[in-house]
Amino acid sequence: MFKTRLLSGIVLVIAALVLIITGGNLLLVSTLLISYIGMFELYRIFHIEKELPGMVGYLAATVYYCNLKFGFLPDLMMFVLGLLILLMFVYVFTYPKYKTEQLLAAFFGVFYVAVMLSYVYQTRMLSMGAYIVWLIFLCSWGCDTCAYCVGVLIGKHKMSPKLSPKKSVEGAVGGVVGAALLTILYGMVFKNAMGVGNTEVYIMAAISAVGALVSMVGDLTASAIKRNYDIKDYGKLIPGHGGILDRFDSVIFTAPMIYFLAANFIVL
């Protein structure tokens, strides 16, 4: 099991390197495809992955990503309200085929998965995005690794005993500190390439610390949904890791956080 998890993790990292370094349309389309899979995994819980509400969700994700590329919507509230109204059409004209929670899940899935994941692409497209985008992974996967190591070594106080009994307060602190230290190391290595000084590197570390806190919420959110619906994993796409939502649960939350913090405090 460990060998399978390690090998699939290496493949995942290589794929992420290729896609993010390349950026542009390849990253945009890849992120949309990943979003489709994540939405499918979420919709499967509500039995709408192949039903009309799910199809509306996939269509909405496509429109949103096309708008990222072509910018044809003058106001994103048009997208939000359009999606809501379209789902209400489905609800009304197919009644009583679908339950209220299924329509709510279709609406939720578009934003929870597709929109939030899109900030990986949007961060990459910032003026220093080729470097800043890696903060998303440093403060999600980096935090997760550091939190696990610290928790195993000295973890005593449970952070959320009912939701995730293995996670500790000590591990959470270790994850935040670890993400910040990893970012300082990363920043010092690439600061000349980025054209920034030590001050910006420390700002990046602070942003990663905030992102690490948010990543834990993302992780626990995914766990809460799974516990509510009594499932172990969202899928089996990534051997040893589960589905897209199992592996990207924290990235979903950190991506928009890093984007907005970097856009306001780092990118000129």
Q: Which amino acid is at 141?
A: W
Contacts of the segment 77-84: beta carbons below 8 A, 24+ positions apart: 83/56, 83/107, 83/110
pLDDT value at residue 268: 47
Q: Name the nearest CA neighbour of 71 among 106, 112, 36, 28.
A: 28
Phi-psi region of 126 (alpha: psi -120 to 50; beta: other; left: phi over 0): beta
pLDDT value at residue 261: 94
Residue 168 bridge partners (DSSP): 158
pLDDT digits (tens, 9 = 90+) for 142-168: 888 888 888 888 877 787 777 777 788
165: how many CB neighbours lie within 10 A of its CB? 10
Token pair listed for 78: 């048009």
pLDDT in tens, the chain (268 residues): 556 666 776 787 788 889 999 999 999 999 999 999 999 999 999 999 999 999 999 999 999 999 999 999 999 999 999 999 999 999 999 999 999 999 999 999 999 999 999 999 999 999 889 999 999 998 888 888 888 888 888 877 787 777 777 788 888 889 999 999 999 999 999 999 998 899 999 999 999 999 999 999 998 998 899 889 988 888 777 766 678 998 888 999 999 999 999 998 875 4
Specify the DSSP element, H or E, that contains 265: helix 244-265
Q: By the 8 A CB rule, do 187 and 205 touch?
A: yes
Token pair listed for 60: 């909405």
pLDDT digits (tens, 9 = 90+) for 44-75: 999 999 999 999 999 999 999 999 999 999 99
116: how many CB neighbours lie within 10 A of its CB? 22
pLDDT value at residue 4: 67
Q: Tell the residue number behind the tokens 């290589």, with chain if given.
A: 14
